[in-house]
């Protein structure tokens, strides 16, 4: 599934689950009571690829992989995107979740990048500054680009 040049304002913006494979490009998710972009783990392997997107002013997380209380895997690949002013994390790998991040901005969230409960791989060039509680939480694994 492909989404591009799209804007959402509501309770929860983009949710992928059940083994769906989604690509989202040039889209904004703003001001919800939940998460901006979230990928729920599934035994079928749920995947979301995000490029050039904005997640701002969500009560919880801007970009989230995993932590849906199920089993299986959730993979979020995110590049050239901005997470700002979210109540919890800018970009987070939760339980059963993997995030692969390159060239993103995370600012004015509670936590900038969070790999505490999942696998967070950074391919570099992420700008993480100005988050309120901590810039990063948990292990952020640096992976070289090719």
Partner 1 sequence: MIGLELTLVNIVHLENVVINGFNGDGIEIFDVGAVFVKDSIVRNCAAGTAIYAGRTSSGTTIVSIDGARLEGNGYALVADSGTRLTVRNTAASRNATGFWFRSAGAFGPRWQRSRT
User: Residues in the site for partner 1, rule: CB under 8 A?
Assistant: 1-23, 25, 29, 32, 42, 44, 47, 49, 51
- Which one, 81 or 131, has the nearer CB to partner 1? 81
Give the number of residues written for the chain. Answer: 146
- Which one, 14 or 60, has the nearer CB to partner 1? 14
At 84, is the secondary structure helix, strand, or coil? strand
Query: In angstroms, what is the minimal distance from the CB of 29 to partner 1?
Result: 7
Query: In angstroms, what is the minimal distance from the CB of 134 to partner 1?
Result: 28
| Tokens 């999942």 found at | 118
Query: In angstroms, what is the minimal distance from the CB of 104 to partner 1?
Result: 18
Looking at residue 74, the DSSP 8-state letter turns out to be E
- Which one, 24 or 128, has the nearer CB to partner 1? 24
Residue 42 backbone phi and psi in degrees, to 5: -150, 150
Choose among 44, 29, 146, 141: nearest CA to 90.
Answer: 29
| Strand arrangement, sheet containing 74-79 | 21-25, 46-51, 74-79, 97-102, 119-122, 141-142
- Which one, 40 or 113, has the nearer CB to partner 1? 40
- Which one, 49 or 134, has the nearer CB to partner 1? 49
Query: In angstroms, what is the minimal distance from the CB of 139 to partner 1?
Result: 29
Beta-strand pair 89-93/54-56: unpaired
- Pair of tokens at residue 106: 């995370």
């Amino acid at each position: 599934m492909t989404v591009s040049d799209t804007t959402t304002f509501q309770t929860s913006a983009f949710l992928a689950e059940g083994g769906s494979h989604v690509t989202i490009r040039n889209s904004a998710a703003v001001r919800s009571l939940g998460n901006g972009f979230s990928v729920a783990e599934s035994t079928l392997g749920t995947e979301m690829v995000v490029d050039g997107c904005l997640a701002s002013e969500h009560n919880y997380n801007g970009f989230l992989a995993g932590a849906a209380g199920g089993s299986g895997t959730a993979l979020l690949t995110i590049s050239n995107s901005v997470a700002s002013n979210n109540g919890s994390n800018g970009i987070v790998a939760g339980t059963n979740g993997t995030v692969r991040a390159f060239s993103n901005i995370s600012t004015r969230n509670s936590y900038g990048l969070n790999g505490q409960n999942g696998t967070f791989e950074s391919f570099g060039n992420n700008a993480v500054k100005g988050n309120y509680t901590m810039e990063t939480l948990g292990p952020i694994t640096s992976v070289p680009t090719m």
